[in-house]
């Protein structure tokens, strides 16, 4: 793999809270998924890559550029599309005006070219028929698509998407997957998500973060394989603290050591993710 983005020893502190703890990782073209519990530092990493936050220490190279250097940072911004976790809008703007505003910030000074690009990205996310609607009249999922549209402006080489599928209905989620996998053919896409299905369906690579470090890097298949021999199906609930849940067919799915009478099950990306995190699941501290 040819890495287009490499992060070495990245640190970031908020007060005494060490949010990135010597984070080291790399990824290349294609779609990379970023998983991790709440507070793991995913957004902090994505903001560092998107140049909206300066880390305290460590090194970032994105598309061969160093965001710590002013000139290179601007060059990187010219080739970057970024969907923040909580994208805000000017509610009194129309969709067209809002996207056009970001297009201007992306230095598209020729009006006709800019308008063509605005229409193109609205089309990509299926909002072109709403171009003249005010942003405040959109539903949550539509706002999310609008935020995605601005990230697509100028066909960026590096796309940083922070929880892009939040709030999308199933049909839009499929459209999103189709769009992003197409983009991933010749670009670098990094998306954070809590949806392991997104990762399984869409990502060539997956990175799992916990407590400001990368605890796994590999393919989704490898992540699932991390749980092989640890996933079991049995008819009665195991009488101990192993993680288990009752599935739709009334049987029990157990993570960890096999309970008596259990048969092995094929692990999913989600199983692998939970096992890579270790216990207690999801705790970031």
Partner 1 sequence: MNRPWHLPEDLIERYVTGRLEPAQVLSVESHLARCEPCRAAVPYEREWLAASWERIEDLVDRPRARPVARLLRRFGVPGHVATLLVATPALARGWLVAVTAVTAFAVAAAHLVGRDPAAAFDGLLPFLVAAPVLPLAGIAVAYGPRVDPVHETQAATPLAGARVLLLRALAVLVTAMALTGAATPLLPGPPGLTTAWLLPALALTATTLALSTWFPPPVSAAVLIVAWLGAVLASTELAGDGLALFSPAAQVVYGLAVAALVPLVYLRRARFDPGESR
Residues that bind ligand ATP (CB under 6 A): 14, 17, 19, 36, 38-44, 85
- Cβ–Cβ < 8 Å for 37, 212: no
Applying CB under 8 A, does 111 fall inside the site for partner 1?
yes
Looking at 8, 64, 90, 264, which residue binds partner 1 (CB under 8 A)? 90
Partner interacting with residue 102 (select from ligand ATP, Mg ion, partner 1, none; CB below 5-8 Å by kind)? partner 1
Q: Which residue has 């060539």 as its token pair?
A: 204
The residue nearest ligand ATP at its CB is: 43
Q: 193 or 232: whose CB is closer to ligand ATP?
A: 193
| Interatomic CA distance for residues 64 and 4, integer angstroms | 7
Distance of alpha carbon 9 from alpha carbon 158, whole angstroms: 21
Minimum CB distance to partner 1 smaller for 104 or for 236: 104
Is residue 2 a contact point for partner 1 (CB under 8 A)?
no
Q: How far is the CB of 44 from partner 1 (least distance, A)?
A: 13
Which residue in the set 40, 102, 152, 183 belongs to the binding site for partner 1 (CB under 8 A)?
102
Which of 8, 64, 116, 229: binder of partner 1 (CB under 8 A)?
116
Give the nearer residue to ligand ATP in terms of CB position, either 11 or 85: 85
Torsion sign (Cα): 84, 88, 89, 95: positive
Q: Is 85 in the site for Mg ion (CB under 5 A)?
A: yes
Q: Where do contacts with Mg ion occur on this chain (CB under 5 A)?
A: 42-43, 85
Q: Where do contacts with partner 1 occur on this chain (CB under 8 A)?
A: 47, 50-56, 67-68, 70, 73-74, 77-78, 80, 82, 84, 86-90, 92-94, 96-98, 100-102, 104-109, 111-112, 114-116, 119, 131-132, 147, 150, 160
């Amino acid at each position: 793999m040819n890495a287009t983005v490499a992060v070495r020893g990245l640190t970031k502190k908020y007060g005494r809270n060490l949010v990135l703890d010597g984070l080291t990782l790399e990824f290349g073209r294609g779609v990379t998924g970023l998983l991790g519990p709440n507070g793991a530092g995913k957004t902090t990493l994505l903001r560092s890559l998107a140049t909206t936050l300066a880390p305290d220490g460590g090194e970032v190279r994105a598309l061969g550029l160093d965001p710590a250097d002013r000139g290179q940072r601007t060059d990187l911004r010219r080739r970057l599309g970024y969907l923040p976790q909580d994208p805000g809008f000017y509610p009194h703007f129309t969709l067209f005006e809002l996207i056009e505003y970001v297009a201007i910030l992306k230095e598209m000074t020729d009006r006709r070219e800019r308008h063509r690009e605005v229409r193109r990205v609205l089309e990509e996310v299926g909002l072109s028929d709403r171009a003249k609607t005010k942003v405040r009249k959109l539903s949550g999922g539509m706002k999310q698509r609008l935020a995605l549209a601005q990230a697509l402006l100028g066909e960026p080489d590096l796309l940083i998407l922070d929880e892009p599928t939040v709030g999308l209905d199933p049909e839009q989620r499929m459209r999103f997957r189709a769009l992003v996998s197409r983009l991933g053919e010749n670009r670098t896409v990094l998306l954070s998500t809590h949806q392991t299905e997104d990762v399984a369906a869409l990502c060539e690579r997956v990175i799992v973060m916990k407590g400001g470090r990368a605890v796994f890097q590999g393919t989704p298949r490898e992540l699932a394989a991390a749980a092989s021999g640890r996933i079991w199906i049995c008819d009665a609930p195991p009488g101990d603290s192993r993680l288990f849940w009752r599935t739709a067919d009334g049987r029990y799915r157990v993570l960890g050591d096999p309970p008596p009478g259990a048969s092995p099950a094929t692990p999913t990306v989600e199983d692998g993710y939970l096992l890579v995190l270790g216990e207690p699941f999801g705790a970031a501290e």
